Amino acid sequence: QVQLTESGGGLVQAGGSLRLSCEVSGLHFTSPFSRRHMYWFRQTPGKEREFVAQILTTGGDTKYADFAKGRFTISRDNSMNMAYLQMNGLKPDDTAVYYCNVHTLYLATPQSGDFPVWGQGTQVTVSS
């Protein structure tokens, strides 16, 4: 079973930066990391988990939620089974638990219900 381990969260002042990491393990050799699209989501208490960014298998194509455009950058390292989310210009509204996930399909409108397994997430807190 796939395992997702997020790290890199923390407390940062508004305007600061964080780099989140996501380690993926437990993938079957017939469907390795390099064949999985990567997604980042975030969730605040009382709200649905929302899409943040995605990157396709080769890393060439990315997509971002409107709030992330121009501030966040998603990337991946297929040799390490890792994905990253560089977040710059952080705002208090970015405070949330951030989660990564993988999928064999390209999802035009990623929803949390598309993913059966989730990791623990990493807490990002932005102070004003």
Q: What is the pLDDT of residue 30?
A: 80
| Model pLDDT, residue 27 | 87
- Per-residue pLDDT, averaged over 32-40, amounts to 92
Whether pLDDT at 29 is above 90: no
Question: Does residue 98 register a pLDDT over 80?
Answer: yes
Q: Please give the residue that has the higher pLDDT: either 18 or 106.
A: 18
Block residue for tokens 């990002």: 124
Placement of tokens 């998603």 in the chain: 74
What is the structure's pLDDT at 59? 72
Beta strands in 8-105 (DSSP E): 10-13, 18-25, 37-43, 50-55, 62-64, 72-77, 82-87, 96-103
| DSSP bridge pairs for 99 | 41
Decide if pLDDT at 31 tops 90.
Answer: no
Is residue 9 predicted with pLDDT exceeding 80?
Answer: yes
Q: Is the pLDDT of residue 50 over 80?
A: yes
Q: List % helix, strand, coil for the chain (3-state, nearest 5).
A: 5, 45, 45
Residue 79 has what pLDDT?
Answer: 92
Q: Which of 4-8, 28-32, 45-49 has the lowest mean pLDDT?
A: 28-32
Which residue is listed with tokens 């807190």?
A: 125
The position carrying tokens 């390209």 is 106
Residue type, 6: E
Task: Count other Cβ atoms within 10 Å, centred on residue 67.
Answer: 14
